[in-house]
Amino acid sequence: MVSDAGLNKYSIISRSIRGASHLRSGKPNQDSYKITREAETLILAVADGHGSDACPHSKSGSVIAVNVFCKTMSEYCRRNTGDRDALRTALSCEGDTAIAKRIDAEWKRRVQKAYSHKPSQIITPTVWVEDKEAIWKLYGTTLLGVVITPSFIFAYQLGDGDIVYADGHEAKHIIAGDKLLGTETYSLSKPDSWKNAKTTVYRLAEIGDNHSFFLSTDGFSNSYRDEQSFLQTTADYFSVIGEYGIDAVSKSIKAWLNETSRGGSGDDITVLIAYGFSL
């Protein structure tokens, strides 16, 4: 858990818990998250490794995913240091094309490198070329990310999970998720995965002083009977932080998420909350 106040008047709460069903089966937590700061910008990423028998290295895949997102977005921010309009324009124009392609390609490059370094793997050049899609599948993962600047946020989503905005009046998705059949989800492991990435730019001038951005893997939303119940819970988290403070919620959130997993999906749950407050 990380609790840090200050950057862009945001406090951060982070927690990842092993799901109740994974505790029973002995499976590890497949989720990963990362928090990066770049000058006046806050970068958050959450990934959910698929965890199936067909994806035995998905924990590594989710770690690679959050690292790739934060590195890619840090580089974009550095190239536009001091010019937020230029950064916003770049992210608006290139988010679901050039940026999504870059994340896709870099994740796959790192996955292939990680696989080649496994001592149990014997790979010939021919097999390497022919089986690259099979290699990607071993590391399958989703990816969520946001870049928060003083004037706007950029949001990215590939696969399931939720990016939610909440304040004292409403809670809503920043990006509408794709509801696929059953347990299916879009994945970085698919060829041309960038084509299924969704992005948006959201101006902070449109929101109030006190608000939160809430990133979570689908183990959280799947623990509720419907979307409205889930959104109400994100609004409740916002209200509880406002009433009791960051430290109190940081101390309690692990127990809350464990209870949510036990009574709901049984899946791993990872949550990042960026709580914005007026100075």
Instruction: Give Cβ neighbours of residue 128 (< 8 Å, ≥ 6 apart).
Output: 112, 116
Q: pTM score, two decimals?
A: 0.91
Determine the average pLDDT of the residues in 197-220: 88
Residue 121's pLDDT band (cuts 50, 70, 90): low
- Give me the domain span that covers residue 225: 3-276
Q: How many domains is the chain built from?
A: 1
Q: How many CB atoms lie within 10 A of CB 96?
A: 18
Sequence length of the chain is 279
3-state helix, strand, coil in the chain (%, to 5): 45, 25, 30
Q: CATH number for the domain including 249? A: 3.60.40.10
Strand order in the sheet with 41-48: 31-38, 41-48, 143-148, 152-158, 198-203
Q: What pLDDT score does 2 carry?
A: 38
pLDDT digits (tens, 9 = 90+) for 150-188: 889 999 999 999 999 999 889 999 998 666 545 678 999
Q: What pLDDT score does 182 carry?
A: 52
Determine the average pLDDT of the residues in 144-149: 96
Q: What pLDDT score does 168 carry?
A: 83
Find the radius of gyration of the CA atoms of the chain.
18
pLDDT digits (tens, 9 = 90+) for 62-107: 999 999 999 999 999 998 877 889 999 999 999 999 999 999 999 9
Of 114, 163, 159, which Cα lies nearest the Cα of 272? 163
Q: What pLDDT score does 122 carry?
A: 47
Q: What pLDDT score does 4 carry?
A: 39
pLDDT digits (tens, 9 = 90+) for 245-263: 999 999 999 999 999 999 9
Amino acid identity of 1?
M
| CA contacts within 13 A on the Cβ side of 86 | 8
